[in-house]
Structure 1
C-alpha cells in the first residue's frame, strides 16, 4: 500500500470526527483492535463500525490485516497507518514518521507471535469500556498498556495492563496478567515475588488479576497460589478466573484466600487490612 496519491494530510486530519480521534489515540496506546472490539468501544452497530473503519482505511489513517483461515474468515485486525501516526505525531509535537517505518511496524505486528496475547489483553479492557457505556455509575477511568505500566514499574513487574474500575460505588485498581498457557505454573506464581517487592517499594495497594487460559489451568494455579508468602501473609490481593467466556465486570473473580467468586468492583471489599 502507498499513501493516498496527492492527499493533503492537514485536510484529511481536519475531516476527522471526535470519535475518530479518540479511536486513533487508543490505537496509539494499545496497538491493535478487532472489528468487534472497536464496535464495543465506540459504536452501537457493527455495520456502521465496519463502514467507518473501511473509510478510515481508505483515507490512510488505519491499516488492517488478518490471517487466512478455513472455514470462515477471521475478523480484521486494525492498527494505525501512516496518516494515523502522522496525526498523533503532529498533535504531540513529535517528528513526522516515515512511510517505510510505519509499514515495517504494521508488518511486524501482523507477524508477531504475541498478537493473540495482545488482542486477549485488550479484550478485557474493551469489555469493561463497553459495559460502562451502558451501565450508570460504571467507569474505566484508567487503562494503561504494558509499555505504559513499565514507565511506572520499571523491571520489578511486567504486567500486561493496568486498570482503574468503578461500579456501584466501589472502586478497584488492578494489574492484569493474561495467561496464554505457555508458561509453567511456577513461573507464573513467581511473578508475585516482583509484585511483593513493588508493593513494598511503592506503597501502592492494587489488586493483581490473573486470567488463566482455562478453568483447569486456574485450578492448578490456585493450588499453589494461597501458599505464596505475600498472599498468605495478607500483603497482596490476588484474584483469578479461568477462560474468557464470561464478562470481566461480572462475578468471575475468585480472591486467592476465598472460595467465593465476586464481581470485579467487589474485589474492593477484599483488600488486605
Structure 2
C-alpha cells in the first residue's frame, strides 16, 4: 500500500496575477455584503465544513491532499475549491520551499468567520491573534514548518481516504501539535499530532512523531521521556516514529533494542500507507503490524488526571 504524496500530479496552471508565494487574491475585488456572506455560509456543504475545520486546526493542505481525502477525483476537487475561493471560504498560495508547484490552501475570510478560534501561528503558538485572515495566511506562508506540516497532515489524509474504501474503518480524532500539546500539558509532551483510529472492533489512540532527518537520533529518543510521564496517569498510546528511510528506521530500532518503554513505540516509513502493515514495535521487531493492531490503552477513567480520555461516539459517558 503506498501513500499519496504532494506533487505527484503535473503542476496546476497559475493565473497571471499569482506571484511567488503570496496568497492569491479572491476572484472578485468587491467585498461581499453581510447578507451575501450569510447566504454563502448557508450553502456550505458538510464536506466544505469538514475541510474548513481541518484548515482551522491544521493550517494548510495541498490540492492533492484535499482531493485524496474528500473528493472522488482531482477535477471535482478543483471545481469545488474554485467555488470556495470565489466566496472567500479558502485562500491559496504557492510555496517554493516545499519543492512542488501545487497550490496550498488555508482559511479565507469566510472560513475565519466560521472558525474564529482557529489556531493562528504555526511557529509561535503564543503570538498575538492576527488582525485578519490575510495576516494569518501570511504567517503560514512564512512558516519554516511548511514541509513538516504537510508531512504530518499526509498521514491523516491517507487514513481519512482509507475510510472511504473500508466501511469498518474510522478516523475518530485528529488533533494538531498545538491541540495535543495543550491537552496533555501536564506531561509536557509535544507530539506532531494525535489521533484515534478504529478498524473493526479495535480502536487505538496514537501520538505521531514525524521525522524528516533534521534531528539527531539522540534528540529523537529523548522525546520519549515525556511520554513516560504521561503513562503514569494518562493514556498509554503507541508513539509512532515515522521516518524517511529504512536505514533511519533500522538505526532507531537498534538504539531501542531491549530498552523497556512505558508507552509502546512503533516505527514506520513515510511512503508506506499508515493504515496498513507499516509499523514495527520496538519491543517485537519480527512482525510489521497494521495500525489497528498496535497495543493501546485509553488510560484510567479519571477526569482529574485523564480529562481527555477517549470515549467512543456510540458510548454514553
TM-score, normalisation: structure 2: 0.75
1:132 Cα deviation from its structure 2 partner: 0.8
Residues 237 and 40 from structure 1, CA distance in 2 versus in 1: closer, same or farther, beyond 3 angstroms? same
Q: Which residue of 1 aligns with 2:38?
A: 10
Q: 1:266 aligns with which of 274, 277, 293?
A: 293
SS in 1 for 2:81: helix
* 8 Å CA contact 1:4, 1:59 repeated in 2: no
CA deviation map 1:49-70 (0-9, x unaligned): 011101111221111111359x
1:247 aligns with 2:273: yes
SS in 2 for 1:198: helix
Residues 90 and 214 from structure 1, CA distance in 2 versus in 1: closer, same or farther, beyond 3 angstroms? closer
SS in 2 for 1:211: strand
Residues 147 and 268 from structure 1, CA distance in 2 versus in 1: closer, same or farther, beyond 3 angstroms? same
CA deviation map 1:18-68 (0-9, x unaligned): 221221112111111111111122111110101110111122111111135
Q: What is the number of equivalent residue pairs in this alignment?
A: 257
Q: Output the CA distance in 1 between the equivalents of 2:50 and 2:297.
A: 34
* 8 Å CA contact 1:4, 1:60 repeated in 2: no
Note the residue ranges of structure 1 that are not aligned, 5 or more in a row. 92-97
Q: Which residue of 2 aligns with 1:166?
A: 198
Residues 73 and 187 from structure 1, CA distance in 2 versus in 1: closer, same or farther, beyond 3 angstroms? closer
Q: 1:237 aligns with which of 258, 264, 271?
A: 264
Q: Which residue of 2 aligns with 1:94?
A: none
Q: 1:64 aligns with which of 92, 99, 102?
A: 92
Q: Output the CA distance in 2 between the equivalents of 1:269 and 1:164.
A: 10
Give me the CA root mean square deviation: 2.5
* Mean CA deviation greater in 82-91 or 257-266: 82-91
TM-score, normalisation: structure 1: 0.87
Q: Output the CA distance in 2 between the equivalents of 1:67 and 1:151.
A: 29
1:157 aligns with 2:189: yes
1:246 Cα deviation from its structure 2 partner: 1.6
Q: Which residue of 2 aligns with 1:209?
A: 240
Which structure has more helix as a fraction of its residues? 1
Note the residue ranges of structure 2 that are not aligned, 5 or more in a row. 1-24, 119-128, 299-317
1:218 aligns with 2:249: yes
* 8 Å CA contact 1:171, 1:268 repeated in 2: no
CA deviation map 1:250-273 (0-9, x unaligned): 1010000112111111113899xx
Per chain length, whose mean CA-contact separation is higher, i.e. which structure has more relative contact order (CA < 8 Å, sep 6+)?
A: 2
Segments ≥4 residues shifted beyond 6 Å: none
Q: 1:114 aligns with which of 145, 151, 154?
A: 145
Q: Which residue of 2 aligns with 1:104?
A: 135
Q: Output the CA distance in 1 between the equivalents of 2:94 and 2:277.
A: 33
Q: 2:47 aligns with which of 3, 19, 36?
A: 19
CA deviation map 1:113-159 (0-9, x unaligned): 11110011010011111101110211111111111101221161100
Q: Output the CA distance in 2 between the equivalents of 1:144 and 1:226.
A: 30
Q: Which residue of 2 aligns with 1:44?
A: 72
Q: Which residue of 2 aligns with 1:81?
A: 108
